[in-house]
Structure 1
Amino acid sequence: MKIAFVASPEPGGQRALKELSDGYGQAAVAEADFIVALGGDHMALEALHDAVASRQSRYTHAHRQLRRSSLHSLRTDDSTERLQAAVSLDLPVLQAEIKQVGGHSRVLFAINEIVLGRQVLQRAKLKVAVHGEGDPRSINGDGLMLTTPIGSTALNRSHGGPLLTLGSSLLALTGNAIAIPPAWCPVILSDHAILDVQVIEAAYRPVQILTVSETVPNISRVRLFRSPDRTVTLLVDREAQSRLCTPFGRQC
């Protein structure tokens, strides 16, 4: 069994990293069977993004990862057994196919959400279309985010977005300070939906895309959807599960 340990830069994380890697070895992320994240939610998300990035698109499942909820209660003597006994949760991956002003193309992946946000004081002007669901809609505001079920408790929730059930085949489209139309409310979509967003007046009202790990500025258009050939499997320590029903802040 090959394990890659990744840790928070704080002293507790680094001590745990040394103890575990000395005891179990340290594999490269690209070669590991498991990635063990030592730290909080952000550390776990970074590890998940590393897992997605390290696999080629032909792989359906990226690395498995065990998320420990607290460095203060971390035990290092039975990690192999805890990995085998961990609770498994398959997570969808969002994909963004981006065109920038000037013609450059990018592809990004995200676990929680993909955020489109204005870069300057002027509101973003966006034309949004969902394939097969009517005409495009014009929206003015600070931006939009597309969120997976596991990400729905995070930034999405703070902007009034809906809480999605884990394991559901749903995505949430939530606005940030939408001024036009004034009656805007979050939209729940099937995870088979394909969302096309065009930035209007992109040179004067620049828009950027943000994920946990990357920021791409000066977007002209983007297609957002659930990746058809990428998922990640999150392994939650059963001891952590007794204190926290599911990862990333979703309480019992």
Structure 2
Amino acid sequence: MIAKRALVASTVETAQEAEQMLRARWDWVPVEDADLIVALGGDGFMLQTLHQMLERRRIVPVYGMNRGTVGFLMNDWSLDRMEERLARARRFEVTPLRMETETVDGERSVLPAINEVSLLRETRQTAKLEITVSDRVVLDELVCDGVLVSTPAGSTAYNLSANGPILPLGSSLHALTPISPFRPRRWRGAILPDSATVRFRVLEPVKRPVSAVADQREVRDVAAVTVSIDRSASLCLMFDPEHALDDRITMEQFIV
């Protein structure tokens, strides 16, 4: 039985052109009726599509084709062999993070993050953070531009740019990576089991304001941030066998 497929595309011209060509060749259903989604765009649009599913609480597999820039989370674009590619595609489970924030004014919020949760200084003043891992204070004071917690799927994104480690997909690990650390100067981060809960307490939050970002969504002036895995909201990405996500993550370690 052929799955009911929905087609979504970013607003960039190349994605819109690809959408028109695919709609002319195959039948598609609305997103709310689909068993599978084909997404056209770049990594940012893929994250947007996944976040929309989390918001609707209706999660189906997503097969992306790159009509953006980097396209790390996407397959190569092709108009041909769509049925065959979908039938052969390998499925990968991606488990998001849960970011819980409390602001200086006492406001609380909860947001999901598929790639990473990052804390960033808002002004020229460095951030000062206390870090607790599973109820144990591991750093009394980290003076830095910021810090992030990355999933394996996101470890080749902002985490890698901040000199964090690349994590194999399915490794059940998270990366805790500082961004331009000043004190302790030699601390380069940690690799944690994904069962660990990481809590950040902002020291001097009024004098040294900090924002918290879950992928692309920001909460400003935070006083405390808790990051944990959310196993109730696992997502599914589909990749061509010859261009699968786990292979991409492995090969990123050999790019110089």
How is 1:109-148 mapped onto 2 (pairs within 5 angstroms)? 109-134=112-137, 136-148=139-151
Which residue in 2 is equivalent to 1:68?
Answer: 65
Q: Distance in 1 between matches of 2:93 and 2:186?
A: 35
How is 1:185-204 mapped onto 2 (pairs within 5 angstroms)? 185-204=188-207
Q: Distance in 1 between matches of 2:249 and 2:138?
A: 37
Which residue in 2 is equivalent to 1:7?
Answer: 9
Tell me which of 89, 96, 99 is aligned to 2:92: 89
Residue type at the aligned position of 1:178: P
Summarize the Cα distance change of 1:102–1:54 in structure 2 as closer, same or farther, 3 Å threshold.
Answer: same
Which residue in 2 is equivalent to 1:32?
Answer: 34
Q: State percent identity of aligned pairs.
A: 33
Shift of 1:95: 0.6
Q: Distance in 2 between matches of 1:168 and 1:37?
A: 26
Residue type at the aligned position of 2:13: P
| Structure 2 residues without counterparts, runs of 5 or longer | 69-74
Shift of 1:251: 7.4
Q: Is the 8 A contact 1:117 1:142 kept in 2?
A: yes
Summarize the Cα distance change of 1:103–1:242 in structure 2 as closer, same or farther, 3 Å threshold.
Answer: closer
Which residue in 2 is equivalent to 1:237?
Answer: 240
Which residue in 2 is equivalent to 1:166?
Answer: 169
Between stretches 4-13 and 158-167, larger displacement belongs to 4-13
Q: Distance in 2 between matches of 1:83 and 1:70?
A: 18
1:79 aligns with 2:76: no
The alignment partner of 2:233 has SS state of strand
The alignment partner of 2:46 has SS state of helix
Q: Distance in 1 between matches of 2:108 and 2:135?
A: 25
Q: Is the 8 A contact 1:124 1:205 kept in 2?
A: yes
Shift of 1:203: 1.6
Summarize the Cα distance change of 1:75–1:181 in structure 2 as closer, same or farther, 3 Å threshold.
Answer: closer
Shift of 1:85: 1.9
Q: Distance in 1 between matches of 2:94 and 2:5?
A: 20
Q: Distance in 2 between matches of 1:223 and 1:190?
A: 15
Shift of 1:230: 1.3
Shift of 1:100: 1.2
Q: Give the structure-1-normalised TM-score.
A: 0.86
Root mean square deviation, CA, Å: 2.7
Which residue in 1 is equivalent to 2:43?
Answer: 41
Shift of 1:35: 2.0
Shift of 1:50: 2.0
